[in-house]
């Protein structure tokens, strides 16, 4: 049996509908992606791995459900098991002004959802790395112990940041409570870089691949800026109309970007560790 026929069989078993055609989708660093047309007319996306860590796809499904329940534009989970996740296919469109402004309003409403504490009831994943979510009393504690320090240590172990630069990052994170104003916990996407926003042909910007948890809302917006989101000024302006950010948030963007940069340093090496260190130096 070929790989594509095996994929078709799996989806047929999960959805109870025959698969008419399959096509691989390029672009994923972690999962294999396949577009499938079903006999009932639907088109779906299958994300799969041959041997994923336990709970990997269940965690993503849980995050998508959290976002959708909060009214965010997240695709419905059609099926999930230990090795795969099935979602509706989102036909790609253009990043229009209207879609960007609606995305800003959607994110503001998402971040306005009250949460009991920073973190989540279960750990998750960020890329292929485990993501600790044990609750903390303050955001500063959560950001230091659950977001920056684990990936700073891993980046050092893998030679992606040197000892002196790591010490600078650690020193800045130790005083993050003095830099970032505390806010009530907000429901976050958690991995909101440009690649996890899908501009749909239906005129909406869809949120995919979450690492959902309760955190500081500036973190989601800082991650959107890290690798560049089309129409970002429109997104931020619409966001501010619904849920204005605290004064000085623009100067704090770099603090929130330390976490994703260190994740990238641990996963890919390159210049991400140096970039994190340069940002940290600016806050000394």
Structure confidence by residue, pLDDT tens digits, 59-118: 999 999 999 999 999 999 999 999 999 999 999 999 999 999 999 999 999 999 999 999
Residue ranges, comma separated, of all CATH 3.30.200.20 domains in the chain are 3-88
Find all residues with CB under 8 Å of 256, minimum gap 6, and list them: 180, 216, 218, 219, 221, 222, 223
Q: What is the mean pLDDT of residues 3-8?
A: 79
- Per-residue DSSP letters for the chain? --HHHHHHHHHHHHHSS-EEEEEEE---SSSEEEEEEETTS-EEEEEE-SSPPTTHHHHHHHHHHHHHHTT---PPP-EEETTEEEEE---B----HHHHHHHHHHHHHHHTSB-SSBB-SS-EEETTEEE----BSSHHHHIIIIIIHHHHHHHHHTTSS-HHHHHHHHHHHHTHHHHS-----EEE-S---GGGEEEBTTS-EEE-S---EEE-HHHHHHHHHHS--TTHHHHHHHHHHHSPPPTTHHHHHHHHHHHHHHHHHHHH-TTHHHHHHHHHHTT-
- Residues of CATH 3.90.1200.10 domain(s) within the chain? 97-281
**Does position 28 have pLDDT exceeding 80, yes or no?**
no
Superfamily grouping for domain 3-88: Phosphorylase Kinase; domain 1 (3.30.200.20)
pLDDT band, residue 229 (cuts 50/70/90): very high
Tell me the average pLDDT across 178-188.
97
CATH number of 97-281: 3.90.1200.10
- Give pLDDT, residue 3: 53
**% pLDDT > 90, the chain:** 92
Q: What is the pLDDT of residue 165?
A: 97
- Token pair belonging to 191: 């991995």
Query: What's the pLDDT score for residue 167?
Result: 98
Catalytic-residue membership of 191: yes
Q: 2 pLDDT exceeds 60?
A: no
Residues 139-166 have a mean pLDDT of 98
Query: Given a cut of 60, is residue 1 above it in pLDDT?
Result: no
Write down the catalytic residue from 191, 220, 247, 274.
191
pLDDT for 42 beyond 60: yes
> Is a pLDDT exceeding 80 seen at residue 52?
yes
The answer on pLDDT for 11 being more than 70 is: yes
């Amino acid at each position: 049996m070929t790989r594509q026929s095996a994929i078709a069989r799996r989806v047929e078993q999960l959805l109870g509908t025959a698969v008419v055609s399959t096509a691989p989708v390029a672009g994923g660093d972690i999962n294999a992606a396949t577009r499938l047309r079903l006999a009932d007319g639907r088109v779906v996306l299958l994300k799969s791995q041959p041997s994923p860590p336990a709970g990997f796809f269940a965690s993503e499904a849980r995050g998508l459900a959290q976002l959708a329940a909060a009214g965010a534009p997240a695709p419905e989970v059609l099926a999930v098991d230990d090795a795969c996740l099935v979602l509706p296919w989102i036909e790609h469109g253009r990043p229009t002004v209207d879609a960007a402004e609606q995305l800003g309003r959607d994110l503001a409403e998402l971040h306005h959802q009250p949460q009991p504490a920073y973190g989540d009831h279960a750990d998750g994943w960020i890329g292929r790395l485990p993501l600790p979510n044990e609750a903390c009393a303050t955001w500063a504690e959560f950001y230091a112990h659950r977001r920056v320090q684990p990936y700073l240590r891993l980046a050092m172990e893998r030679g992606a940041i040197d000892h002196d630069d790591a010490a600078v990052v650690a020193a800045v994170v130790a005083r993050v409570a003095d830099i970032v104003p505390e806010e009530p916990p907000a429901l976050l996407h958690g991995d909101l870089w440009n690649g996890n926003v899908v501009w749909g042909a239906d005129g909406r910007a869809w949120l995919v691949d979450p690492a959902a948890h309760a955190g500081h809302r500036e973190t989601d917006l800082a991650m959107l800026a890290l690798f560049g989101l089309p129409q970002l000024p429109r997104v931020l302006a619409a966001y501010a109309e619904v849920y204005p950010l605290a004064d000085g948030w623009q100067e704090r963007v770099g603090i929130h970007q330390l976490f994703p940069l260190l994740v990238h340093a641990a996963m890919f090496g390159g210049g991400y560790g140096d970039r994190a260190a340069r940002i940290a130096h600016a806050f000394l």
